[in-house]
Amino acid sequence: MNHFSKNDQIFNENAEILKALAHPVRLCIVQGLINCNGCNVSHVQNCLNMPQSTISQHLAKLRSSGIIIGERNGLEITYKVANPKVKAIIDAIFV
């Protein structure tokens, strides 16, 4: 009986999610986006008291990993967590 599955695509996708989350600032950003149901860069910057460029770099990494999406509303972009797996991961580690 084989208890190990070898589906490279599933393991690679999940590993990429975990890699993107494996930074304290990105974990904080994702948890905050879940808790406030999305917000813009300025709000994240004010909450974390970090430079806007640093926040933008972290948001870009999360966006490229498919964890968050940005919805444009005029000049403002509201970021939200788009991946339900990520919400489950955050719920599991922040019990």
Predicted confidence (pLDDT) per residue in 53-88, tens digit: 999 999 999 999 999 999 998 999 999 999 999 999
The answer to whether the predicted template modeling score (pTM) of the entire model surpasses 0.85 is: yes
Domain coordinates in residue numbering, the chain: 8-93
Predicted confidence (pLDDT) per residue in 37-52, tens digit: 999 999 999 999 999 9
| Rounded Cα distance, 16 and 11, in Å | 9
- Look at the domain 8-93 and name its fold: Arc Repressor Mutant, subunit A (1.10.10)
| Rounded Cα distance, 86 and 76, in Å | 24
Q: How many CB atoms lie within 10 A of CB 46?
A: 11
